[in-house]
Structure 1
Amino acid sequence: MSGSLCGTDGRSERGDAPAREGSRASCCEPKRGVASFELGIGAVVDDEGGYTSVAVALALLVSLSLVCSLVSVAWVQNRSADVQSVADSAALAGANVVAAYSTVATTLDACVLTLGLAGMVTLGAGLVVSAVPGLSAVGAETISAGVKMLDARRDFAMSAARGLEAVEKTLPLAIAARSAAVVEANEGEGSSYIGCAIPFPQESQSDFSALEADVTGDEIAEVADHLQDASDRAKDAQDRLDEALHEGWLADCGGEPMNMRERADSLAGLLVTENPHYPSPESWTFGVPLLRSRSYYARRAAIEAPAGQGIRYLTDSECRLAFYEYALSEMEAGYYLELPDGSVDIDLPSLPKNTGEMQGTCLYTDARWPCTQEGGRVTLHSTLRCPGAQGASAGEASLSQLDAGAVARCPTCQMSSADMGKVAAASTSIDNGYEYYWARVVAASLDYEVAADDLAAAEAEMRDYADEGASAFEEALETLASPRLKICPPGAWGCVAVVGRGEGDLPDSLENGFAAPLAVSTGAAISAATLAPDFDAAGNDVLTRFLEALGDDIGWGCAGVLGGIGELWAGLLRGYGSSADGLSDAASEALSGLSGTLLGPVASWLNDKLSEIVRAVGFEPADLRLRKPVLTNSQNVFDRAGFGQVANARELIERLPDAGDPASIARALGQVVVNELGGGPYAIAELPIPGTDITVPLTIDVGALLGAGSS
């Protein structure tokens, strides 16, 4: 229905009354004399105020037109805005490639450093063990293991440097390929995109010289050889020292049932304070029997008396008294000194056990025997109580004068050199005599003094070599610690994605007769992404992941394979990056574990010195948190690269080609792209597992990394 029709008389066709003045119908009155049909307000609203069918139809038509137009406009706007989302995704994809490389490079750097440190700690332990008398063979084996580990570290580091350098040269192509794949994946009905991400810096600025630094244990191994030789001599001297000490202790108070202590108690009745017992040689020294003998001979001289009646008993007693007084004077002159350098100075007197030996002492040469004038000659007696001593006193004479004929021998007491010489003969020859055990002590003391001097000389030489070894250790450790690997691959500052959008028509499903056809015009967007540490990755750092993967690759898990040196390396890996002192603490702890053994003075000093060196050298702290790509203002990346944002963004957009593969797109944007990795799996390096014959190849899938960009 097109609306109401008005007649010429002002009435409607229904015969209604004429319209009143001011009514709605008045506006529809035709000019008199003219026949026409006009559409007025009555066509949409009737006299009762309701909407007519015409009004409803018009409203529906307008609504459909608006809806269709808005849908088309919204689609165009969404497609126009999608290019920014695509650029964001492409930038994140490029940064994700850099993140993956950073993880690999950090892991390899950690492995190189900790392998070297494990080798150094092993060499240090070898030096310490080499300084332990009796463990030279173990020290040599440990040194050999440390040298092999440093050799493995060198080979691994050089291969890692070559591998990382090749990967960094290929990174721009990988970034372009992965980001271009994301751009292509966003194409759909009515939308087409082209573009990729380019890294900044565009070329590698990494420094791999730290990986190429050669750290060898040759000098340490040479010092260790000398140290082991001196250690062997010290071990021989220590064995002789211990044997002599044990022998002296047995003779003095350790032997059963008789010994010097027991004889001193039985023969002289010494007090316990003068005649102590020592249950073991550890607390006993050669000064003990010297003090005991002083008390013994003083007591024997004090209680000496003839064993019977008659001149023969009297002579024997006088000879014994002379011997005891002589022995006491000798004991008083004897000494036992322990010197600061570990040697000893011992002078335990040897007592004569026969006439020949007596003639070499003052017992023979000292004028102590009384003489009288008998028959016109000076006659020597054992004592003035001798019945033959009747004449006037003629002073004193020696046994040597008697033997020389300067004085006459008394026919009554018949005192002679033989009488004096036989005093200690029996007590020295059989085990019930005090002098028997004293002779054993003296012999042991001579062996002990020689052994102690040899030990002191060997230990002095060991200290010299230990000091030399510590210096070589410190020098090698400083070479290992500095410089550190500086990683700055392409994309380290960020990746800038440039994405262009082609023209696009509305999809068929949106075409209709209610709205004029629309099209999406060409456009472009730019975005940037960089790497940020993942603060929520506790227990999920680079090396935690690596150790888990390593255990899977080995097959049995690290705990089952890594033993000894391998466990040391794994512990250093776990300590790497934990703090600024994480490595130093782990290495120092490994060395301090030797302190529980009986190291000896030189080894203990060396162990403490090496631990101190490790703590003092220090290692740069490593940030091992996983990196994740995050969007950033492209201005930040351009500023870091030294470019102006507006000019460079416009230039990059203008360079975008209409079509091409990722490599050609990257080249059009000014990026040099090459493939240094080939097409299949690429082994960056082969990691030796310390303590085993296992090597684990560290590979990347080049095909997955480059995708279509490998062309």
Structure 2
Amino acid sequence: MHLRWRCRRPFGLFRDEEGFTTVGMALALLITLSLVFTTAQVYRVTSASADVQDVADAAALAAENQVAEFMIVVRACDAVVLTLSLTSIVVTGLGVAALCTPVTAPASEALLKAGRDVAKARDSFAEKAAEGLNRLQKALPFLAAASAAHVASANNGGPMNASYVALAVLAPAEGEPIEVGGMEGAHALADRAEAESEDIKRAGEQAEQAAEEANACKERAFRRDCGDEPGYCMSERARTLAGLSGGDNPRFNSVDAWSFSVPLERARAYYVKRLAVEAPQGSSTEERARSALRLRFYRFATAELGRGYVHETEDSFDALFPHLPKNTDEMRATALYTEVAYPVTEGEGGPVMHAWSGCPAAAGATGMGSIAQMEQGGYSTCSECGFTASSMGKVAAASTSIDNGFEYHYEAVAQAADEYEQARAKLDPLARKVKEKAGGLFDECLDLLRQVSSKRIDAAPPGRYGAVVLVANTSAAPTSTGFASGFVHEAGSLGARAAVSAATLLDEGSDEGKNVLNSLLDGLKDKGGAVTGALGVVLDCWSGLLSAYLEGQDAIGRVLEGAVDALPFASASGLGSWAASAFQKAVAALGLEPAKLGALKPVLVNSAHVAGADDTAFSARFLAVKAQAVAHPLASTDLFSSVVTSAEAAAIEGIASLDGTVEIASVQLFGDGGPEIPLTIALPQAARDAAADLVSSAADAVRSVYAQVTGVRTWE
């Protein structure tokens, strides 16, 4: 029955009720294959057309990279200018500091001259660097165009037999002139330092002599006070004779930690203790009389030392060490001689004066008198105590005359204090003179450091906003190239394809800027390594400042510390250490900020952003054309031809002055005989290989794109 149904239908043999007909299946497959190959061909054509955009992006990055490289050179030149400025001032300041001591004074002349030479080298380098950088930035449009063209041509060939041309335009096309001021202040500072040098040097020498005398006095006093322990000295005698200990009897191991106030306080404590513990050493009247006189002497000594003082600062010394009498004659010049403290009785031969009221013969005393009255009135001598003027005079005589007595060492300290004060009276005015003159010069150094820290090399080069690149693939390849197929009809060839791209610069943490300085440092070490002495200090300063350029103030402090350590600033007067410290403090007040030496990295951006940041005629024209292209894409076939000519003119300027390398400037320290370190920039290979008509050829090729599209060559 089923078979009969098929026979009744004419097309029953070609279809059934459960599937597709055989013809339908074939048609479906053919259509599907045609769509697949058509889609693939469309993708192929689209990809071939889109390749020009990738090339344009790469060319834009290459063009803007030339600006990035230029900025590295600018920052390297800035490093040289700034560090030479700082080195000149630092070396001049070191020269001033060296004037302050006789030991370092011979190096001052070389340092002051070196400071002036470095300032001249800095000015020479800055002038040449400004000229070289201006020359190089004029060539940047050409370098950018050459790099873009090189990258574009490197993508020629391939499956579609591409032939790329590119024209890079920097925005803006011109840079601002680079100018660097001179260091007039450095030369004036050197003049003033040299004018003051003889006065500072002479005062420093005289101060050193006075300081040596003063230090000898202080050393002698220190030893007599406690430095000779465990031998006889004030501290040992105070401990042995009075049992003085602890804070009342301190001991110092170094004169540097000791001062004259120490023996004065020790003596005060000693006599207070002796007064408190004094007792007769026997029961005889003579011994009891000597004890009474010792009490009076200790009481007198306590009062005398109470008048003493020590006022000492870094710049002055004023002290009073009362001298205690060591014999009868000296006693007569003290209050012991005129003190009315001795009982007087009437004897057969006239009035009699007694050593103290406890004398057996002093009972019934009618009054009190002094030793002066006794000598002037012809008093009789007491038969019991035997008191006379010499009795009091002898109290301190023994302990003052031999080294086992406390007064012997105290008197030595008191005499040393007097001599120390006299030496300081000569030293302090000389030291003040040195500090005033040198300190004034250090203040000028600080003012000049502040000035030069703002005289930096900065640049606003062509392309600082970015680069716009116009790229065209002028190869007219058949659409089926590399993908021939019978499913798609040959539809002619792909015409010229064009694209626009843009790039700008972005800060990037990179060592590329440091590498430039490292190469400069290598040259400095190679050519300046044989320099020694004061000039070696100069080179070390500059080398240190260069190597630590990124660290700002901390780097200057470390470099200055190293330079100070290289000179023997230690001196008896302390003026060398003061000068070094004062200058370091002056520099520390500068507050220099770290420099920026990181590399700049080109990144792709919308071309409207680059052109929009620029106010030149090219950018304005480019934005207008781009806006027209967006609004009327089919009518904007002159996208390139309307802006190429102005780009061409900007790019070819400065080409004639270029060769394989550009010497920006050279550093020549210490005049013609010193080491010379050049800063030379090698041009990129693309620029070295490019012919002088590179830019014009690229512009002609880009303009020809319009003719290929419209069949009309635009005359501009």
Q: Are 1:294 and 2:256 an aligned pair?
A: no
Residue 645 (structure 1) aligned to one of 604, 607, 622:
622
Q: Which residue of structure 1 aligns with residue 403 of structure 2?
A: 431
- Distance in 1 between the 2:555 and 2:297 partners? 66
Alignment of 1:91-110 (within 5 A): 91-110=60-79
- Alignment deviations for residues 44-103 of structure 1 (CA, whole Å, 9 cap, x no partner): xxxxx99xxxxxxxx9xxxxxxx9xx99x9999999877767665654443333233222
- Cα drift, residue 166 of structure 1: 1.5
**Contact kept in structure 2, 1:666 and 1:673, CA below 8 Å:** no
- Cα drift, residue 641 of structure 1: 2.2
What letter matches 1:104 in structure 2? V
Q: Which residue of structure 1 aligns with residue 598 of structure 2?
A: 624
**Contact kept in structure 2, 1:372 and 1:394, CA below 8 Å:** yes
Residue 468 (structure 2) aligned to one of 479, 489, 496:
496
- Distance in 2 between the 1:263 and 1:571 partners? 56
- Cα drift, residue 217 of structure 1: 8.2
- Cα drift, residue 246 of structure 1: 3.4
Q: Which residue of structure 1 aligns with residue 175 of structure 2?
A: 204
**Contact kept in structure 2, 1:116 and 1:480, CA below 8 Å:** yes
- Alignment deviations for residues 310-329 of structure 1 (CA, whole Å, 9 cap, x no partner): xxx68984995487257435
Residue 126 of structure 2 aligns to a residue whose secondary structure is: helix
- Alignment deviations for residues 522-573 of structure 1 (CA, whole Å, 9 cap, x no partner): x5745343244485xx6x4223332554466578799999997767766655
**Contact kept in structure 2, 1:197 and 1:497, CA below 8 Å:** yes
Residue 544 (structure 1) aligned to one of 514, 519, 527:
514
Alignment of 1:446-525 (within 5 A): 446-450=418-422, 471-482=443-454, 484-498=456-470, 525=498
Number of aligned residues: 618
Judged with a 3 Å threshold, the aligned counterparts in structure 2 of structure 1 residues 74 and 392 are, in CA distance, closer, same or farther, namely: closer
Q: Are 1:247 and 2:216 an aligned pair?
A: no
**Contact kept in structure 2, 1:551 and 1:557, CA below 8 Å:** no
- Distance in 2 between the 1:269 and 1:191 partners? 110
Alignment of 1:297-376 (within 5 A): 298=275, 302-303=279-280, 317=290, 321=294, 324=297, 327-328=300-301, 330-338=303-311, 343=316, 345-368=318-341, 371=344
- Alignment deviations for residues 218-250 of structure 1 (CA, whole Å, 9 cap, x no partner): 649849969888877776666555543432343
What letter matches 2:71 in structure 1? S
The answer to which of 140-149 and 677-686 deviates more is 140-149
- Cα drift, residue 441 of structure 1: 1.9
Judged with a 3 Å threshold, the aligned counterparts in structure 2 of structure 1 residues 200 and 671 are, in CA distance, closer, same or farther, namely: same
- Distance in 2 between the 1:588 and 1:331 partners? 51
Residue 186 of structure 2 aligns to a residue whose secondary structure is: coil
**Contact kept in structure 2, 1:136 and 1:232, CA below 8 Å:** no
Judged with a 3 Å threshold, the aligned counterparts in structure 2 of structure 1 residues 333 and 632 are, in CA distance, closer, same or farther, namely: closer
Q: Which residue of structure 1 aligns with residue 711 of structure 2?
A: none
- Distance in 2 between the 1:380 and 1:477 partners? 83
Judged with a 3 Å threshold, the aligned counterparts in structure 2 of structure 1 residues 91 and 325 are, in CA distance, closer, same or farther, namely: closer
Q: Which residue of structure 2 aligns with residue 259 of structure 1?
A: 233
**Contact kept in structure 1, 2:72 and 2:599, CA below 8 Å:** no
- Cα drift, residue 270 of structure 1: 4.0
Judged with a 3 Å threshold, the aligned counterparts in structure 2 of structure 1 residues 83 and 576 are, in CA distance, closer, same or farther, namely: same
What letter matches 1:258 in structure 2? Y
- Cα drift, residue 602 of structure 1: 6.0
**Contact kept in structure 2, 1:95 and 1:531, CA below 8 Å:** yes
Q: Are 1:584 and 2:553 an aligned pair?
A: yes
The answer to which structure has the higher helix fraction is 2
- Distance in 2 between the 1:456 and 1:167 partners? 59
Q: Which residue of structure 2 aligns with residue 634 of structure 1?
A: 607
- Cα drift, residue 624 of structure 1: 0.8
- What is the root-mean-square deviation of aligned Cα atoms in Å? 6.1
Judged with a 3 Å threshold, the aligned counterparts in structure 2 of structure 1 residues 231 and 542 are, in CA distance, closer, same or farther, namely: farther
Q: Are 1:674 and 2:657 an aligned pair?
A: no
What letter matches 2:308 in structure 1? Y
Residue 685 of structure 1 aligns to a residue whose secondary structure is: strand
**Contact kept in structure 2, 1:301 and 1:324, CA below 8 Å:** no
TM-score scaled by structure 1?
0.65
- Distance in 2 between the 1:374 and 1:98 partners? 119
- Cα drift, residue 673 of structure 1: 0.7
- Cα drift, residue 443 of structure 1: 0.6
- Distance in 2 between the 1:265 and 1:502 partners? 108
- Cα drift, residue 107 of structure 1: 2.3
- Distance in 1 between the 2:249 and 2:83 partners? 58
- Distance in 2 between the 1:231 and 1:247 partners? 24
Judged with a 3 Å threshold, the aligned counterparts in structure 2 of structure 1 residues 329 and 698 are, in CA distance, closer, same or farther, namely: closer
Q: Which residue of structure 1 aligns with residue 681 of structure 2?
A: 700
**Contact kept in structure 2, 1:381 and 1:414, CA below 8 Å:** no
What letter matches 1:157 in structure 2? A
Judged with a 3 Å threshold, the aligned counterparts in structure 2 of structure 1 residues 305 and 161 are, in CA distance, closer, same or farther, namely: farther
- Distance in 2 between the 1:135 and 1:103 partners? 41
Judged with a 3 Å threshold, the aligned counterparts in structure 2 of structure 1 residues 594 and 697 are, in CA distance, closer, same or farther, namely: closer
Structure 1 unaligned blocks of 5 or more: 1-22, 24-48, 51-58, 60-66, 657-664
- Distance in 1 between the 2:287 and 2:370 partners? 18
Judged with a 3 Å threshold, the aligned counterparts in structure 2 of structure 1 residues 411 and 272 are, in CA distance, closer, same or farther, namely: closer
- Cα drift, residue 442 of structure 1: 1.4
Q: Are 1:442 and 2:422 an aligned pair?
A: no
- Cα drift, residue 364 of structure 1: 3.6
Q: Which residue of structure 2 aligns with residue 659 of structure 1?
A: none
Q: Which residue of structure 2 aligns with residue 41 of structure 1?
A: none
TM-score scaled by structure 2?
0.65
- Distance in 1 between the 2:57 and 2:270 partners? 99
What letter matches 2:64 in structure 1? A
Structure 2 unaligned blocks of 5 or more: 1-9, 11-21, 24-29, 31-36, 627-637, 694-716
